[in-house]
Each structure stands twice: as C-alpha cells, then as structure tokens.
Amino acid sequence: MTSSTLDAPINATETHPSLEELWMPFTANRAFKRAPRMLVAAKDMHYTTADGRQVLDGTAGLWCVNAGHCRDSITAAIRDQASIMDYAPPFQMGHPLAFELAQELARMLPEGIDHVFFGNSGSEAVDTALKIALAYWQSKGQPERVRFIGRARGYHGVGFGGTSVGGIEANRKQFAAQLLPAVDHMPHTHDLSRNAYSRGQPTHGADFADSLDALIEKHGAQTIAAVILEPVAGSTGVLIPPTGYLEKIRATCDKHGILLIFDEVITGFGRLGAAFAADKFNVIPDMMTIAKGITNATVPMGAVCARHEIYDTVVNEAPAGIELFHGYTYSGHPLAAAAGLATLEVYRSEGLFERAASLENYWADAVHSLRGLPHVIDLRNIGLVAGIELEARPGAPGTRGFATFLKCFELGVMVRSTADTIALSPPLIVEKAQIDQMFETVSQAVRSVD
C-alpha cells in the first residue's frame, strides 16, 4: 500500500532550539526537557526522530492520523487552498468548501444526523454540543433542562464544559472549584472481575446503564438536558461498552426525552472498522462530536453533528436574526475544509474503514497473544484499538505504564500510556507485518520493565 521509508534528509547532529520557553501540554515539562523525545518528520506509518531513527506509529499520532502521515493528496489540497484563499470570516460570510465538507459529512453520518457546526478541536466540539443542547431546550420552551450527565473516567477535552462532564479526576482537581455546577456522572463500565480478557465487547455490564435511571430519579428528567459519553472511551485507557449498554442508555434517554451525545472524537472515521461508533454499535445519538480524523489531523478541525430536529428547533423556529450566539474565528477554516474534503476522499477511495474492519480479527489475535506476560492484567480490543492493562506498581500508579511507553519508543514503536494501560490505535493503512512488530515490541517492553 504505502512505503514506510522516508527519503527526507534528517540532520541527526542538528541541535535543538532552547526547550525552556515552550510550556508543553499534558506533559511532565521538567522531565521531558531533561530527556526530550523529538519528532522531526513523518510519512505513512513512521515518524522520524531528531536523531534519525524510524519509529512505527502505533497510535496514529494521538488517535488522529487515520490515513497515515503526509498523504500527498491531502498536503496538495492544503497547499493549493493556501494560495487560493487563506482565510474567510465565517460570521455572516461563507466560502464553498465549508458547505461542501458539511454536505459530504452529512452523507456519511448516520441517518437523521444531517447538520454540522464547525470548530477547531474536540474540546470546542464538546463545549459547542453542550451549548447547543441548552439552546435547544430553551427553544423548545423547557429552559429548566440544564443538567448534563457524563461518566466517570470520561474524557471530553479541556474546555470548562468538557472538563465538567469529563470524569478523569486528575484533569478535574486543579479546577474543581469552578466547574459547571449542574453536572452528574454515571459510573464507568470497566469491570475486570467480570470482563477481563474480553475479545471485542464485554459480555457483562449492560446493567451499568441502570445508573442513569437512578440519576433521573434523583434529579428529575425535566431538569436534564443531555447525556454525553464516549462510545468507546480512549483517553482513559480503552474502555469498551458492554453488549447492550449503549442500547439501554439510548432507550432511557428516549423514554425521558433526554438528548444523547456521543463524543466520537476518537471513534469517528474508521477507528472501529465503521465510519462511526454509532454505525458499529447501531445506536444513533442525537448529536455527535467529531475532530481528529476529520482532516487526518493535518489542520485542526472539530465539529458537532446534529439531528435535523435540533437544527430545526434552534434555527428554523427562531425569530429572524442570529439564531445561535456561538462560533469561532476559524469555524470551517478554508485550509481545514480543503484538508477535510481531501481526507474523506482518501478514506473513500482506499476503502480504509473497510480495511480496518477486515484487519479486526488479525488485530484481536495479536492483542490476545500477550496473555500471560508478566504484569498484564487485562487485554481489550475493538476495531483497530487495543488496551493492554498492566498491574500498577505498589504506591506508584502509572509508572509501569509510562516506563513501558518509554521502552517501546526506544525499541522503535510509538504507543500511548494512560495510567498503567498501554493503548494502540494505528493508522488504518497498517500492514499485518507492522501489527506483528507492534505487539512483539510491546511484549519485549513489558517483559523488560519490572
């Protein structure tokens, strides 16, 4: 399919710029700056490091480079658009590519979800979706519906809205004093005692959805605007929904007229072997947040995709004038729109979502081949996603996972560690031999880290 060699010359002896001034995100800045891991180029399945090593990308960057790196047609589309029109204001003005991309997305989205509001990231998409939910209930004459229900261990980006509905304690505690007040969380669905080593969806745990009924009982359905969850939680360590769980959540939301938002920022664009998780699980939400793979991560872009009825209520039933007081300077940016159109064309013409589906069994076998390795306490897989959960070191949670990530990087494979779970989510162009390399490397790393 694609070549893994890189012909751009890399000067291995080049010195770094000063590392001091940059305040790095979600990074142990001081430790990184003592021992930096610098990436300088990427092509297809590989990164090149500053010291000239090839590193196999086991994570599609940050779950986002689904078509592989530096794809010619996508870079050409961005380059061409940059010289035609670099920017156009999106408020009270438009440019054709943003409309075209919205139309292309609407064609791919599940039936009934046919309107797209652009932002620049997953975090913006989440906060936008929450605002649209509030605007919807105001327009419906039910302004008391303001409460959001998220989930423990959920990750919905870093805006105040996303942090509030998110359920990762480490991300919340520095800001806990000022998060959104009317938010509650369901428990997560991770249950090693019943589901360890599940292949695909775990069998047990649809009953975790009953917690939503309990919250509805507690607060009253008439106060709840929306439930938001990741169909497969990624950032918190690959939590796969038990069979029947999402269906139950959907049924409960329907029963009480509550909006259901799927955060598909990582599950969108083929990651699970279908266009979206909604397709994979055949559970259709009312809104979806998407980002990352929409442009193959080349130009930042995110979006909220909403059911027709939501757009109709907020827009078509509003008095004349601006209907939603929300938007970003870069909503539907021309370079992002050009990148998005070219990316969707790559997905389509190369059949990458189908390719991911066809590799799912091979992938699952590779994941579960790690069973029995020291410190491995669970293996999880779905689509082209793997979670390898390691036993935490006593009193030092996360350190074994991080040491394993470092070892894999040294051995030439990029993985992610979140706490003590190693996550893999390669570009969908991955070859079987590269899957073998990833799991052989993880196996070697796990065995060498005590």
Ligand X SMILES: Cc1ncc(COP(=O)(O)O)c(C=O)c1O
Which residues are at the interface with ligand X (CB under 6 A)? Answer: 121-123, 126, 155-157, 230, 234-235, 263, 265-266, 291, 302
As a whole number of angstroms, the distance between CA 100 and CA 191 comes to 43
CB closer to ligand X, 123 vs 195: 123
Instruction: Quote the least distance from Cβ 220 to ligand X, whole Å.
Output: 28
319 secondary structure, DSSP code: P
Q: Which is nearer to ligand X, 155 or 439 (CB)?
A: 155
Strand order in the sheet with 54-57: 39-43, 46-49, 54-57, 413-414
Could you tell me the strand order of the sheet in which 224-229 lies?
Answer: 113-119, 302-307, 287-290, 259-263, 224-229, 147-151, 183-186
In whole angstroms, how close is the CB of 156 to ligand X at the nearest point? 5
Closest distance to ligand X from the beta carbon of 153 (Å): 11
305 Cα distance to chain centroid:
15
In this complex, which beta carbon is closest to ligand X, that of residue 121 or of residue 437? 121
Nearer to ligand X, 127 or 441 (CB): 127
**To the nearest whole angstrom, how small is the minimum distance from the Cβ of residue 127 to ligand X?**
9
Within 10 A of 442 (CB to CB), how many other CB atoms are there? 27
Residue type, 198: S
Helix ranges (DSSP H) in 303-351: 308-311, 334-349
Q: What is the closest distance, in whole angstroms, from the C-beta atom of residue 383 to ligand X in the complex?
A: 15
How far apart, in Å, do the first and last CA atoms of the chain sit?
A: 38
Q: How far is the CB of 230 from ligand X (least distance, A)?
A: 5
42 vs 304 by CB, closer to ligand X: 304
Q: From CA 56, how far away is CA 48, in angstroms rounded? A: 9
Q: In the bound complex, what is the minimum distance in angstroms from residue 297's beta carbon to ligand X?
A: 9
242 vs 302, which CB is nearer to ligand X? 302
Q: Other C-beta atoms within 10 Å of 73: how many?
A: 12
Give me the least distance between CB of 191 and ligand X, in Å please.
21
Residue at shortest CB range from ligand X: 122
Report in angstroms how near the CB of residue 31 gets to ligand X at its nearest. Answer: 22
Q: What is the DSSP string of 396-421?
A: BTTHHHHHHHHHHHHTTEE-EEETTE
User: Measured from the CB of residue 234, what is the shortest distance to ligand X in angstroms?
Assistant: 5
Tell me the two tokens of residue 252: 């409960």
DSSP 8-77: S---TTPPPPPSSS---TTS-HHHHHHS---EEEEEBTEEEETTS-EEEESSHHHHT-TT-BS-HHHHHH
Residue type, 347: Y
SS3 290: strand
Interatomic CA distance for residues 267 and 276, integer angstroms: 6
Confirm if 352 and 430 have CB atoms less than 8 A apart: no
